[in-house]
Amino acid sequence: MFEWLGQNWWALWLTLFLVFAAVEMLTLDLFFIMLGGGALAGLVADFAGADLWLQIVVFCVVSLLMIAFVRPVTLKHLHKGAPEQRTNIDRLIGESALVLEAVTASGGRVKIGGDIWSARSQSGVLPEGQRVIVSAIEGATAVVAPQAETAVQ
C-alpha cells in the first residue's frame, strides 16, 4: 500500500482535495476550499513530475496565496447588499395588507401582496376591506394591527 502511494502521490492530493471540499460544504467559510485549491496545485505539480518536497511547497504557497488574496475578494462579493436586508417571511413585517374576512383575535384572512394569509388581530375586530399592517408572522398566521390612517377614522 505505502509502496503504491509512494509512486502515486496524485492519489493523496486528490483525496486531500475531496476532504477539504467536504469540510467546506459543512463550514461554508471559504477557507477549506482555498486549501483544496492548494491540493489541486499539488496534484498538478505531481503530474508535471515534481518531487514530493516541491509538491508540498506548491501546496503551501498556493494555499496561502488563495487565503490571502482570493478569499477576501470572494467574501466581499458574497456579502454584497444591505446588511439589514430582510428575506423570506421577515420581509412581510411592516407591509400593508387588506382584510378579506373580518379579523379577530382568533382568526380571519388578509391579502399581503398577492398572497392570502390566515391572520389574527392584535387589537379588537378589524372589518373586511380595512387596510392593516403586518406586525409579526407566527407560523402561517400574520398578526396584524390597524394602519395609522384607518385607525383615526
pLDDT for 152 beyond 60? no
Residues 6+ apart with CB under 8 A from 152: none
- Selected residue with higher pLDDT from 149 and 121: 121
Section 97-107 average pLDDT: 93
pLDDT of residue 65: 97
Residue 5 burial by Cβ neighbours in a 10 Å radius (0-12, 13-18, 19+)? exposed
pLDDT of residue 11: 92
Is the domain of 28 the same as that of 67?
yes
What is the pTM assigned to this prediction?
0.55
Kindly state whether residue 83 falls inside one of the protein's structural domains: no
The rounded distance, in Å, linking the Cα atoms of 15 and 21 is 10
Kindly state whether residue 135 falls inside one of the protein's structural domains: yes
Is the domain of 95 the same as that of 135?
yes
Kindly state whether residue 151 falls inside one of the protein's structural domains: no
- The total domain count for the chain is 2
The rounded distance, in Å, linking the Cα atoms of 65 and 86 is 34
pLDDT of residue 86: 66
Is the domain of 70 the same as that of 11?
yes
Is the domain of 74 the same as that of 125?
no
Report residue 83's pLDDT band, with 50, 70 and 90 as the boundaries. Answer: low
Report residue 82's pLDDT band, with 50, 70 and 90 as the boundaries. Answer: low
- How many other CB atoms sit within 10 Å of the CB of residue 95? 13
| Residue among 2, 94, 74 nearest 31 (CA) | 74
Is the domain of 17 the same as that of 73?
yes
- Helix, strand, coil percent content, the chain, rounded in steps of 5: 50, 20, 25
pLDDT for 85 beyond 60? yes
Indicate the average pLDDT of the chain. 89
Distance of CA 98 to CAs 24, 32, 90, 153, Å? 45, 49, 18, 16
Kindly state whether residue 126 falls inside one of the protein's structural domains: yes
Kindly state whether residue 43 falls inside one of the protein's structural domains: yes
Report residue 80's pLDDT band, with 50, 70 and 90 as the boundaries. Answer: confident
Domain boundary (57, 78, 99) is at 78
- Most confident region among 36-45, 85-94, 122-131 by mean pLDDT: 36-45
Report residue 87's pLDDT band, with 50, 70 and 90 as the boundaries. Answer: low
Domain range enclosing 59: 2-78
pLDDT of residue 153: 45
